[in-house]
Structure 1
Amino acid sequence: MATPSDNDHTIAFPILIGDIGGTNARFAILVDAYAEPKQFPILATADFATLDEAIQTEVLDKTSLQPRSAILAVAGPIKGDEIDLTNNNWVVRPKALIEELGFEDIVVVNDFEAQALAAASLGPEHLEKIGGGEIRPASSRVVVGPGTGLGVAGLVHARHTWYPVPGEGGHIDIGPRSPRDLELFPHYQSIEGRIAAEQLLCGRGLMNIYRAVSKVGGCPAKATNPAEVTAAWADGSDPAAVEAIELFVTYLGRIAGDLALIFMARGGVFLAGGIVQKIIPALKHPRFREAFEDKAPHGAIMKAIPTFVITHPLAALSGLAAYARTPVRFGVATEGRRWKA
């Protein structure tokens, strides 16, 4: 593996950008720094044996453009020349992509780094503001994304550069605060006796809350998946689903507020992913901001920190495109994560 210096910011166009998750993969080609990305249909990872096959079949075979470089965001730890994905059988092998598909340069980043890059670059048309507060320019930001798991990333600004800070913030502890919490927490599924934020704030976390509410209420759980819970909340047909969404929003507010304090995120907290996009009316209810701001003795600080839902349907690709256009604007560490022919 040839690894360039971190000072080598040049990435040659055209650039393939890809957001590779556990279930779906999204690709686009950026012809130059001024063009809009040429997007390709979202594909199911289960339909292809390998990433190489998916790129060849669904991208390269369907365009006359031959990308020289690739920037890929993957849901998994980036270690060595073979990168296993967390909820996907694919293995990302950058050297093989170079040798077999003709790429000259490949950068691989964490999927939530891409969301953080989006939080630094998206315009107001792709942000739904929740509550008060105003963005303080050049101040730290936080991205929180309930999805398959609970993704968390920070974004720190220094020397005119945005530095994404990925981590495992979704696994911090969460505990009961209210009398209702004390009723429900004994019924939440834990991991080795511990309830981490991700146990409540993701798709299966929503089901964890819903089943506990149903059990404590002595009612059978009607919904069998998160989509059914959100649908039953939306039409009010299942009281347990309504309360589950209300609790989900409250817990998300608490965790988002904790993370805002950790990063002193005066630049804002950005909520990412499909779940939050579906429950924006619930997030606009005062309970989210009340939970977010309830951080005595720092309530005044919290009131000044804005919160947003990222509404861009392909936010990670947008973040990657921003990085591809002007890599020098972002402090993305490429050591051990960049391969060149």
Structure 2
Amino acid sequence: MPNPSDSDHTIAFPILIGDIGGTNARFAILTDAYAEPKEFPVLATADFETIDLAIQTGVLDKTSLQPRSAILAVAGPIKDNEIDLTNCDWVIKPEALIRELGFEDVIVINDFEAQALAAASLGQEHLEKVGGGEVRPASSRVVVGPGTGLGVAGLVHARHTWFPVPGEGGHVDIGPRTPRDLELFPLYDTIGGRVSAEQLLCGRGLMNIYRAVCKAGKIKESATSPAEVTAAWSAGSDPAAVEAIELFVTYLGRVAGDLALIFMARGGVYLAGGIVQKIIPALNQPRFREAFEDKAPHNEILENIPTFVITHPLAALHGLAAYARTPVRFGVSTKGSRWKA
């Protein structure tokens, strides 16, 4: 089935929108350009063998609406007619979704492309500012999201249009800067012999830091999950958990600052995902912005770039809904990622 060109901005309502992560899948249906999305319960990807079954059971069986189109944001590279998710066993086959579930049109984009769309469309009520700096209108933005992995996307403004720029920025290298780092980095789990940003800045990355802190201090590990680490940090009951969170926000500041320089993101850096929402008090401590701004010889540039935590619980769906309502407002490339019946 041939893909439409990028100039085809017509998407037929009702539209199923879906944010497919490594752990959870979130769906909603948009009946028209003016309606609020009809949301469905969050689904655990591990509970369903395929995305087809998840959509049928978790969405279509629970409504009389029959979506004509689907826009899916997925955690993984989009290529060919079978899309493997990075941290999930699902394989998305758009032609099968059309054939089996009755869609006329299926668009698949990167999950952090959807987060970038959210960064262009969310109101101030869904953003919590961390530190100084001011948004420069119509300037580039960056979204960084520690979750099951580390998602990164840019957002560039040109010709009155927001262009999301997906990528695999979460896999850049990160290295030691302080004497404490030099103690801990040899203890971190590596991937292919290196420490990538994602090895430290996601759920398993937080555990990587926590285990290294315990090993360096010859402390018995008491937390066995990211949730237990954040709970122990919040309660102040485990010094290793407290340091792990402090290191986590420091490393996040460093990486976010690097990405801000790459995109010259004078429109702001936006932190997404459940982990950052849980540790806002730690992000508000000086160490995050200090690490973000510590980029000699360009400290002054970083001082003037604002950082925000996205607090909307379904930000990616919000971004997808904004795109579904007015596709012409966003420069989303659908070449090679759109299938029509």
Normalising TM by the smaller chain, what interval? Answer: over 0.9
Q: CA deviation at 1:305?
A: 0.3
Give the aligned partner of residue 176 of structure 1. 176
Runs of 4+ in 1 over 3 A off after TM superposition: none
Residues in 1 aligned to 2:165 and 2:66: alpha-carbon distance in whole angstroms: 32
Give the aligned partner of residue 8 of structure 2. 8
Residues in 1 aligned to 2:137 and 2:199: alpha-carbon distance in whole angstroms: 33
Q: CA deviation at 1:63?
A: 1.1
- Checking the alignment, whether the CA contact within 8 Å between 2:116 and 2:154 is kept in structure 1 is yes
Residues in 1 aligned to 2:58 and 2:244: alpha-carbon distance in whole angstroms: 39
Residues in 1 aligned to 2:162 and 2:185: alpha-carbon distance in whole angstroms: 38
Q: Deviations over 1:33-62 (max 9, x none)?
A: 111000011111222222112212221121
Give the aligned partner of residue 229 of structure 2. 229
Q: CA deviation at 1:121?
A: 0.6
Residues in 1 aligned to 2:283 and 2:314: alpha-carbon distance in whole angstroms: 21
Q: Deviations over 1:212-247 (max 9, x none)?
A: 111111211111111110000000000000001001
Secondary structure of residue in 1 paired with 2:218: coil
**Counterpart residue identity of residue 74, structure 2:** V
Structure 1 segment 139-150 matched on structure 2, within 5 A: 139-150=139-150
Residues in 2 aligned to 1:18 and 1:293: alpha-carbon distance in whole angstroms: 35
- Checking the alignment, whether the CA contact within 8 Å between 2:33 and 2:325 is kept in structure 1 is yes
Q: CA deviation at 1:29?
A: 0.4
**Counterpart residue identity of residue 47, structure 2:** D
Q: Deviations over 1:289-318 (max 9, x none)?
A: 011011111111111100000111011101
Secondary structure of residue in 2 paired with 1:201: coil
Give the aligned partner of residue 112 of structure 1. 112
Give the aligned partner of residue 313 of structure 2. 313
Q: Which moves more between the two structures, 192-201 or 283-292?
A: 192-201
Secondary structure of residue in 2 paired with 1:52: helix
- Checking the alignment, whether the CA contact within 8 Å between 2:277 and 2:309 is kept in structure 1 is yes
Secondary structure of residue in 1 paired with 2:128: strand
Residues in 2 aligned to 1:295 and 1:277: alpha-carbon distance in whole angstroms: 25
Q: CA deviation at 1:192?
A: 2.9
Give the aligned partner of residue 75 of structure 2. 75
Residues in 2 aligned to 1:191 and 1:174: alpha-carbon distance in whole angstroms: 12
Residues in 2 aligned to 1:265 and 1:165: alpha-carbon distance in whole angstroms: 13
Residues in 2 aligned to 1:49 and 1:259: alpha-carbon distance in whole angstroms: 36
Give the aligned partner of residue 303 of structure 2. 303
Structure 1 segment 147-158 matched on structure 2, within 5 A: 147-158=147-158
Q: Which moves more between the two structures, 82-91 or 279-288?
A: 82-91
Residues in 1 aligned to 2:193 and 2:289: alpha-carbon distance in whole angstroms: 29
* Pair 8,279 (structure 1): closer, same or farther in 2 beyond 3 Å: same
Give the aligned partner of residue 137 of structure 2. 137
- Checking the alignment, whether the CA contact within 8 Å between 2:74 and 2:108 is kept in structure 1 is yes
Identity %: 84
Secondary structure of residue in 1 paired with 2:87: coil
Residues in 2 aligned to 1:281 and 1:270: alpha-carbon distance in whole angstroms: 16
Q: CA deviation at 1:82?
A: 1.4
Secondary structure of residue in 1 paired with 2:254: helix
Q: CA deviation at 1:99?
A: 1.6
Secondary structure of residue in 2 paired with 1:145: strand
**Counterpart residue identity of residue 258, structure 1:** D
Residues in 1 aligned to 2:277 and 2:68: alpha-carbon distance in whole angstroms: 34
Segments of structure 1 that go 5 or more residues without pairing to the other structure are none
Residues in 1 aligned to 2:321 and 2:184: alpha-carbon distance in whole angstroms: 43
Q: Which moves more between the two structures, 165-174 or 240-249?
A: 165-174
Q: CA deviation at 1:250?
A: 0.5
Give the aligned partner of residue 250 of structure 1. 250
- Checking the alignment, whether the CA contact within 8 Å between 2:135 and 2:267 is kept in structure 1 is yes
Give the aligned partner of residue 325 of structure 1. 325
Residues in 2 aligned to 1:84 and 1:168: alpha-carbon distance in whole angstroms: 15
Residues in 1 aligned to 2:291 and 2:279: alpha-carbon distance in whole angstroms: 16
Secondary structure of residue in 1 paired with 2:253: helix
Residues in 1 aligned to 2:81 and 2:174: alpha-carbon distance in whole angstroms: 36
Give the aligned partner of residue 37 of structure 1. 37
Segments of structure 2 that go 5 or more residues without pairing to the other structure are none
Secondary structure of residue in 2 paired with 1:182: helix
- Checking the alignment, whether the CA contact within 8 Å between 2:23 and 2:148 is kept in structure 1 is no
Q: CA deviation at 1:185?
A: 1.3
Residues in 1 aligned to 2:49 and 2:182: alpha-carbon distance in whole angstroms: 46
Q: Over aligned residue pairs, what C-alpha RMSD do you find?
A: 0.9
Secondary structure of residue in 1 paired with 2:211: helix
Residues in 1 aligned to 2:192 and 2:47: alpha-carbon distance in whole angstroms: 35
Q: CA deviation at 1:188?
A: 1.3
Residues in 1 aligned to 2:294 and 2:24: alpha-carbon distance in whole angstroms: 37
Secondary structure of residue in 2 paired with 1:243: helix
Structure 1 segment 260-279 matched on structure 2, within 5 A: 260-279=260-279
Q: CA deviation at 1:106?
A: 0.8
Q: CA deviation at 1:193?
A: 2.4
Give the aligned partner of residue 161 of structure 1. 161
Residues in 1 aligned to 2:38 and 2:160: alpha-carbon distance in whole angstroms: 29
Secondary structure of residue in 1 paired with 2:191: coil
Using structure 1 for the length normalisation, give the TM-score: 0.98
